[in-house]
Chain A
Amino acid sequence: MKISGSYFLPLPPEQAYQRLQDPEILAGAMPGCESLDKIGEDEYRMKMKMALASLSGNFDGKVRITEQSPPNSFKLMVEGSGKVGFMKGEGLLKFTPKDTGTEVSYEGDVQVGGTIAAVGQRLIDGTAKMMIKRFFDKVAA
């Protein structure tokens, strides 16, 4: 599934870029994230709890940041699997100065499989959008 959108952060691009790579900020902002531990350069192990439709479950996964080009763009990869299936997402985040802040635009692809795909496919689009909005709201806060 393709996802794309943008969000306005009231911070200059350099700060926005930094904030979106700060493990503590990411851990606090990612919905359902229970822990985020650094395991390598720009690579983290993540535990998260996700709920979709009638399903909820714990996911073990990884977050990786690649193709860094500060303060313009980087690529974020998130993947996880659990008892209710797996999810895999990849997105390019772009930072463009706008007014007094930064417009963060993202474009990517989300894949889900297992029970979540069979049961929750119809809701994934809406849920993904909702989760992304919550994420940025927390990053901005």
Chain B
Amino acid sequence: MTITESVGGNELTSEAEREQAQLGLTPGQVAIKRARRHPGLLVGFGILLVMALFAVLAPWLAPHDPYLQNLSLRLLPPAWVEGGQWSHLLGTDHLGRDYLSRIIYGARISMMIGIGAATIGAIIGVTLGVIAGYFGGWLDQAVNFLVTCQLAVPSLLLIMALVFVIGQSITVVIFVIGATHWVFYLVVTRSATLRIRELDFVAAASAMGCSRLQIAVKEILPNLLNQILVIFTLEVAVAILNEATLSFLGLGVPSPTPSWGLMIAEGKTAMFFQPWLVILPGIALFVLVIAINLLGDGVRDVTVTNRRS
């Protein structure tokens, strides 16, 4: 086979096209093609997009100021329930703040905390998991010891201590929740890495001169993505609810700031008489988690490598 020298610009394009036709679609192109026909992924992505838009455009979309208290309109039910007002579509809370506005603003905090904390947990857990699984030996034992410690210390106690020491802010909450939710990632990625490192393609990689870091990042990590995605979708919900617990204890998001977790925590006292105070942010949370799940499953489906095309 001789290498054809490229001549003019036009011919180069046609050459590239011809090559494309010969080689078939690249994995990226295949994934996009499949994504277009994947309803779960599209729905999940759509919901997340809408929620993100609401979060970003909250000042323009919210009908009221989420901090504005109107004690004369306390605990209004949603508009369609008897006693509700159409000016407050989803009613008001115990301080007379518009619930719809608080949910819209709350999307900012909750999505930030959920996705942020799950990402931080993933970074810690996956890094430690791959290190422990791939290098083994004393590193593995050290990481396992760390897990044992993490599991032995009540995480709430740890979070409380950390928040007291560092101070109270949204960033701190995200980091603290993330830093206490990495054990799942670690356990799963460690055992998967233990299995993968014995496979011949890892030996082939080191035989071709790859460094250990290159092997860990380029050969092992891509094979862990499915497991990481599954845990990520679970951890987002866990993180948001964790924030509610923290807020309930007065350690989470500082009080007037609207967040779904805080709203659930605050509404809890009146749950039996004004159930919507818990149900409405609960629904928002539920939809967010479902959307992330759908997206995660969809991404897994469109990146499968064994479907014969």
Do A and B belong to a common assembly?
Answer: no
Chain A interface (Cβ within 8 Å of chain B)? none
Question: Chain B residues in contact with chain A, CB under 8 A?
Answer: none
